[in-house]
Structure 1
Amino acid sequence: MKRKLNYIKFFVAIGLITSLSACEKSLDEMTYDKFGETSFYKTPEDAKLAVTAVYSKMNPDGYAIWGCGYPGVVPQSSASTDELICSWGWPGWEMFNKLNLSETFPGDALFQFYNQLMPAITNATIAMDKIQGMNMPDETLKQKYVGELKALRAHYSQILYNYYGPVPVRLNPADAANPNAAPIPRPSQQEMVAQIEKDYKEALDALPKAADLSAADYGRFTKDACMMGLVKLYMHEKRWQDVITYCRQLQQMGHSLQTNYSDIFSYANNGSSQEILLAVSTRMDASDGNLWLAHALPGNYADPTGKALTQWGGYKMPWATYDKFDPSDKRLARLLVKWRTSTGDIYDARANHVIGAIPMKYGVDPNATGETHGTNIVVWRYADVLLSLAEAINETAGPTTEAYDLVKTVRARAGLGGLPDGLSKDDFRKKLMDERLFEFWCEGGSRREDLIRWGTYIQRAKDAGSTFVKPEFVLWPIPRKVIDETKGVVKQNPGYN
């Protein structure tokens, strides 16, 4: 992932492993007629290219899932909660914030994850089957590739489940490769969760630890990332004992908090697994760069090193959210309120009626030119293990000494003391709700997941003045084209009919 792909081979791999069948596979018909089983899936390099093609949906540029624009997980999660607003004129930003959701949402934004990830899951299923049928001299490598595909299928399915509920993913390779296969209905919640869980667990057995991953493979799934995927799944399902089990296993994997919060999101930290459990590797000279700073930095910001940057100045954190932070919280260093301009003056955003603080989050790539940076996108990290474990302990046993200590460890890095003694279970949960905001703002899609789990997602929109929100809007709508093409076999989510 970290090395630049051979793009000719990359598109060959895409062509070979992409099959099209109704809505579960792709919404855009494509034809491939030059390559087949006789010319591919013959060598270990072919297998690697096929796996890398499935990883392509992780890339942060354009319309990919971990991108920095509106089709990405982080912008959609953050903008639909209290941690992100945008000063651009596109109406979708305010509609996200007010949860004014519909099948006609601007830019088909609510369909992006479905349109991108359903065919990616089909690709993973087909590639998995083909690689399992290959004769490869290194059986361990073969099983690693299959494990990566299972982890990717679990990860993509998990995103879909979080945003749409259960979806009709193709798990049978013969059906996945058959353009004329009959449409399948949506599975039950229990079936969807069981499949994600199964894929993660089987992948976990085949993959290396993060500490053993080669530098060239950084950004690929590991045992550690699969465990964290399971933690996120179990948090969603409130399976607290399972959360505790896997968090404790992750505590034994050699991870720790980095000393400085800002360093986590720096270019110099690329390739680190000390705290980071899963990152999307980026590079500025390919189609997988980090565009976060371009979306966030205001036009009058002057980089201290004198580097010329592209600065579109859209993303802001609302003042009401920013003001929840303790003024001495070191994590505020990544949220700009005052900055030096090109004239040498200090600009005060609040005094100049800017609508919020600037969520800088990522550091500048010293090699950047223009909008694209090569600072890796952080998906999951060890601080989430500690705070998830604290929450699960509190839900099962109340605020024990261990739960207090876990939160204290995270807060200590931010230069803060522990939580007040004597909190009730409910009060401890409320403190954790704030702590997760302070620690994970604009990161990994965490805020939306958290608010839904705590039952505050819909009320937050109401409190923001929304007259459009419905209780059902904890889920996005299924694309209408899917429902029409399957003749109603795939049903729409409640609240959108």
Structure 2
Amino acid sequence: MKYKILFILFTLGIAFSACEGDLEPQIYDRISPSNFYRTVNDLEVATTPIYWELKNNGWGPYMVSDGSRFIMNQVATEEWTCKWSWDAFQNLNWIIGEKMAYGFYEMILPAVTKATYVIERIKECPVEEEIKAKYIAELRCLRAYFAADLYMLYGPLPIIVTKKEALYPSSDYKPARPTSESIVSFIEKELRECADALPAVQPEWGRCTRGAALAKLLKVYMYERKWDKAVELTAEIMTLGYELQNSYADIFSVNNERNKEIIFAVPCEPKDQFGLLWFSNALPPDFKSKVGVNYTAWNGWRVPWTFYDSFENGDKRKNLILETYQNKNGQTVNLRAIGDVGGLAMKYGEDTQNPGQWAGNDYIQFRYADILLCRAEALNEVSAAPTQEMIDLLNQVRRRAFDNYNTSNHFLSLSQFPTKEALRNRILKERSWELWCEGVRREDLIRHDQYLEVARQAGASFVSDKNLLYPIPTWAIIENPNLRNNPGYDE
């Protein structure tokens, strides 16, 4: 989607309760709810900034910077580390003043309220119900998308999803935390109804679709270990026309818009605040681009050698992790030889139009390979023993990673997995090799009860059960005395 950002949302009289921080709107024009929500164009203009919440000037919660879902779901896993001074964050020393643990909360909790505000204003708009329903379905999908990630990162939170609190906020509104069951029920209902209302394909790339709603619902089912529902949902997603790309690298190329493997992505353009900051985060400053880009590089991310070495020989997915690179003096730098902590995560392909920081590769949120692997996992969990369908799903995903796959020793057979435990462990490995550095690993490891142990092995020195959730920001608890922190963070 080429975002037509007018930032008009902030002119519509939106007010936010104190429990969401200092978010008083600035008035830039004379537009108000009384004269704005009147036409179809008004609805489009009002909806666009909610999509912008995904990107937020390129530094947003669904991109790759501090506080993003990517960072929150990669920290202290075996497939990602960072060379910056994030010691407390990477050691899981998430004391209640640890700013790195708050970023996503501070960006996305207000976004839920903004979405609710726009939904309620659209309901009152004097345009055709069918047109209103289209925009409302997209907004409800985004709102549930935000709510699901808040839940999986911070646990159940009070979110504003009703007209009264969104349109007529009160300083007396200080809700306690809801139950997990109520939040999951809300998310499930919203995403299911949105999926039924949304088209399988949108004319404008980057808008919510049936597949996007179902993929997020699947992630919630996997997190909650609702295996039967996950099996049903993956079967439904598999009817929507998605396909695996023949080339693994092509999924992430600069020309990846509308490739059939992508279910949902944040569209990017190679210009300031509209692009993807992947390369600036991942590359050293002396890296010589193969396409002539003069990168502004911050030398942050690395893929640890233990993970790099875990790939099978000949696995092409490993080729996107660089052990060596050419510097600007034409010299070959061997990162392992010089004692660096890992390889370069060149998962996304270079963009010749990148002005130095901002790449035009669309940033992927969900893709079809993830769905197939989720199906294999869910089927295994509901079965007494592995079946051929599960193995076929793994082979379907693995096939493009190896030459002559069907006749190679990389081809998997049912006889290799005599128990569901054996296949469960293999699926977790397959997910890491296929989905490395895609912001899903923490959730995968938590689901398999392995996150804390993997964090210890990754070098985190303050690991405890409390790290299965992030802490609630201090300011939120001060402003709302009914909001209790997650277990272990009250001390």
One fold, TM greater than 0.5? Answer: yes
Deviation at 1:100, TM superposition (A): 1.5
The within-5 A match list for 1:26-41 is 26-30=21-25, 32=27, 34-41=30-37
The within-5 A match list for 1:285-324 is 285-324=271-310
Letter in 1 for 2:435: F
The question of whether the paired residues in 2 share the 8 Å contact of 1:78 and 1:442 is answered with yes
Deviation at 1:17, TM superposition (A): 6.2
Using a 3 Å threshold, how does the CA distance of structure 1 residues 457 and 230 change in structure 2: closer, same or farther? same
Q: Please, which runs of 5 or more residues in structure 2 have no aligned partner?
A: none
Question: Counterpart of 2:155?
Answer: 165
Q: Select the residue among 402, 425, 431 that pairs with 2:426.
A: 431
Letter in 2 for 1:470: S
Using a 3 Å threshold, how does the CA distance of structure 1 residues 319 and 60 change in structure 2: closer, same or farther? farther
The question of whether the paired residues in 2 share the 8 Å contact of 1:41 and 1:134 is answered with yes
Task: Determine whether 1:325 maps to 2:311.
Answer: yes
Question: Counterpart of 1:481?
Answer: 475
User: CA offsets, 1:44-77, max 9 Å, x none?
Assistant: 1111111111111111645410222222111221
User: CA offsets, 1:280-333, max 9 Å, x none?
Assistant: 011122522101011112223222233322222211011111111113111012
Deviation at 1:228, TM superposition (A): 0.6
Please give the secondary structure, in 1, of the residue aligned with 2:159.
Answer: coil
Using a 3 Å threshold, how does the CA distance of structure 1 residues 307 and 171 change in structure 2: closer, same or farther? closer
The within-5 A match list for 1:252-263 is 252-263=239-250
The question of whether the paired residues in 1 share the 8 Å contact of 2:58 and 2:277 is answered with no
Using a 3 Å threshold, how does the CA distance of structure 1 residues 30 and 14 change in structure 2: closer, same or farther? closer
Q: Select the residue among 157, 182, 207 that pairs with 2:173.
A: 182
Cα distance between partner residues in 1 of 2:142 and 2:96: 28
Q: Select the residue among 205, 215, 225 that pairs with 1:218.
A: 205
Using a 3 Å threshold, how does the CA distance of structure 1 residues 61 and 13 change in structure 2: closer, same or farther? closer
Cα distance between partner residues in 2 of 1:489 and 1:65: 26
Cα distance between partner residues in 2 of 1:356 and 1:464: 12
Please give the secondary structure, in 2, of the residue aligned with 1:378.
Answer: strand
Question: Counterpart of 1:65?
Answer: 61
Question: Counterpart of 1:406?
Answer: 393
Q: Select the residue among 329, 338, 341 that pairs with 1:355.
A: 341
The question of whether the paired residues in 2 share the 8 Å contact of 1:60 and 1:282 is answered with no
Deviation at 1:221, TM superposition (A): 0.7
Using a 3 Å threshold, how does the CA distance of structure 1 residues 286 and 132 change in structure 2: closer, same or farther? farther
Cα distance between partner residues in 2 of 1:331 and 1:250: 25
The within-5 A match list for 1:237-276 is 237-272=224-259, 274-276=260-262
Number of residue-to-residue matches in the alignment: 479
Letter in 2 for 1:12: I
User: CA offsets, 1:254-297, max 9 Å, x none?
Assistant: 1110000000001111233x100000011122522101011112
The within-5 A match list for 1:87-126 is 87-88=83-84, 90=85, 92=86, 94-105=87-98, 108-126=99-117
Task: Determine whether 1:230 maps to 2:223.
Answer: no
Cα distance between partner residues in 2 of 1:465 and 1:342: 33
Cα distance between partner residues in 1 of 2:263 and 2:159: 26
Cα distance between partner residues in 2 of 1:13 and 1:427: 51
Question: Counterpart of 1:373?
Answer: 359
The question of whether the paired residues in 1 share the 8 Å contact of 2:267 and 2:363 is answered with yes
Task: Determine whether 1:462 maps to 2:456.
Answer: yes
Please give the secondary structure, in 2, of the residue aligned with 1:268.
Answer: coil
Q: Please, which runs of 5 or more residues in structure 1 have no aligned partner?
A: none
Cα distance between partner residues in 1 of 2:342 and 2:56: 25
Task: Determine whether 1:418 maps to 2:403.
Answer: no
The question of whether the paired residues in 1 share the 8 Å contact of 2:92 and 2:461 is answered with no
Cα distance between partner residues in 2 of 1:64 and 1:407: 33
Question: Counterpart of 2:487?
Answer: 494
Task: Determine whether 1:144 maps to 2:134.
Answer: yes
Letter in 1 for 2:16: L
Q: Select the residue among 39, 59, 84 that pairs with 2:80.
A: 84
Letter in 2 for 1:157: A
Using a 3 Å threshold, how does the CA distance of structure 1 residues 86 and 348 change in structure 2: closer, same or farther? same
Letter in 2 for 1:18: I
Coordinate RMSD, CA, aligned: 1.7
Cα distance between partner residues in 2 of 1:409 and 1:31: 52
Using a 3 Å threshold, how does the CA distance of structure 1 residues 198 and 286 change in structure 2: closer, same or farther? farther
Question: Counterpart of 1:48?
Answer: 44
The question of whether the paired residues in 2 share the 8 Å contact of 1:279 and 1:378 is answered with yes
Deviation at 1:408, TM superposition (A): 0.7
Please give the secondary structure, in 1, of the residue aligned with 2:33.
Answer: coil
Cα distance between partner residues in 2 of 1:80 and 1:453: 15
Please give the secondary structure, in 1, of the residue aligned with 2:73.
Answer: helix
Please give the secondary structure, in 2, of the residue aligned with 1:279.
Answer: strand
Question: Counterpart of 1:132?
Answer: 123
Cα distance between partner residues in 1 of 2:7 and 2:330: 48
The question of whether the paired residues in 2 share the 8 Å contact of 1:483 and 1:492 is answered with yes
Question: Counterpart of 2:185?
Answer: 194
The question of whether the paired residues in 1 share the 8 Å contact of 2:17 and 2:169 is answered with yes
TM-score by length of 2: 0.94
Cα distance between partner residues in 2 of 1:97 and 1:327: 30
Cα distance between partner residues in 2 of 1:44 and 1:429: 50
Deviation at 1:169, TM superposition (A): 0.3
* Deviates most, 56-65 or 320-329: 56-65
Please give the secondary structure, in 2, of the residue aligned with 1:56.
Answer: helix
The question of whether the paired residues in 1 share the 8 Å contact of 2:96 and 2:474 is answered with yes
Using a 3 Å threshold, how does the CA distance of structure 1 residues 27 and 496 change in structure 2: closer, same or farther? farther
Cα distance between partner residues in 1 of 2:132 and 2:262: 26
* Deviates most, 112-121 or 419-428: 419-428
The question of whether the paired residues in 2 share the 8 Å contact of 1:17 and 1:123 is answered with no
The question of whether the paired residues in 2 share the 8 Å contact of 1:404 and 1:418 is answered with no
TM-score by length of 1: 0.93
Cα distance between partner residues in 2 of 1:348 and 1:17: 56
The question of whether the paired residues in 2 share the 8 Å contact of 1:61 and 1:290 is answered with no
